[in-house]
Amino acid sequence: MTLIVDTLPSLYSQLSAFRAHDQYLPDIDRDQLIAELFPSSASELVQRLSDISAAMFGVVLKHAGAYCGFEHIDPIANDTMYNLGKINAARSLDKEGINRDIEGFFKIILITIFTANPEYSFTINRLDEQELKMTIRGVDRYHKIAFTTGIVDHLTWPVISPYLHGINEELGINAKIGIQLLILNEQSQCHYELKITGGFK
């Protein structure tokens, strides 16, 4: 059966290269399955990916606590986020226009929000060579899954703080990082104030 991409979600045609090697049984209506099950929009796809990433974070930490003791899950979470910050910073440095400075730090934060944390919205309050100030609001997906899995009281919030320190380490600019938690409620609605200063090698 020939796949008629025009009848499928438009997102499928954009991502069809990833599905080029899928094979179906002859009696399966491939078009109908894709139309029913493939994400209908980029928003739906990104949200699903965000949800499953957060779920993995929470479930792994819950099991780590059950096996090793819940007093150990905060340092595990911190180390995980720190190393994710380093990894994503290293990957981002390959992009043109991202340098080892405050502006580069800012761009890596935006890449993270755009690609992995769609629930956050931000306000840029100041950006220059010496200082970045941002307001971050929205739903903290990590808090949401931690609350659902019953481990929220075992973690230090916001858990994104070590992530920022990982970026800083990878950039090697010795910036001073401050993140103030103003709101984080049971619905995981958050309000963080971020301040990054210095940034000199």
Q: Would you say residue 5 has pLDDT above 60?
A: no
Q: How much is the mean pLDDT over the chain?
A: 93
Q: Are strands 189-197 and 120-127 parallel, antiparallel or unpaired?
A: unpaired
What does the pLDDT read at residue 6? 53
Higher pLDDT, 200 or 125: 125
Give the pLDDT confidence of 55-110 residue by residue, as tens digits.
Answer: 999 999 999 999 999 999 999 999 999 999 999 999 999 888 899 999 999 999 99
Instruction: Tell me the residue type at 50.
Output: S
Question: 135 to each of 91, 139, 167, 191, 193, how far by Cα in Å?
Answer: 25, 13, 18, 7, 5
Would you say the C-alpha torsion 181, 191, 135, 171 has a positive or negative sign? positive
Q: Would you say residue 3 has pLDDT above 80?
A: no
Give the pLDDT confidence of 19-28 residue by residue, as tens digits.
Answer: 999 999 999 9
Residues in contact with 193: Cβ distance below 8 Å, sequence separation at least 6, in sequence order: 133, 134, 135, 136, 179, 180, 182
Tell me which residue of 169, 32, 25 sits closest to 88, measured CA to CA.
169
Mean pLDDT of 169-195: 97
Residues in contact with 167: Cβ distance below 8 Å, sequence separation at least 6, in sequence order: 85, 86, 88, 89, 105, 108, 109
Q: Report how far residue 19's alpha carbon sits from residue 21's, in angstroms, rounded to the nearest whole number.
A: 6
Give the pLDDT confidence of 142-176 residue by residue, as tens digits.
Answer: 999 999 999 999 999 999 999 999 999 999 999 99
Q: Report how far residue 88's alpha carbon sits from residue 191's, in angstroms, rounded to the nearest whole number.
A: 23
Per CATH, which fold does 42-197 belong to? Answer: Muramoyl-pentapeptide Carboxypeptidase; domain 2 (3.30.1380)
Q: Would you say residue 9 has pLDDT above 90?
A: no
Q: Which sequence spans correspond to the domains of the chain?
A: 42-197
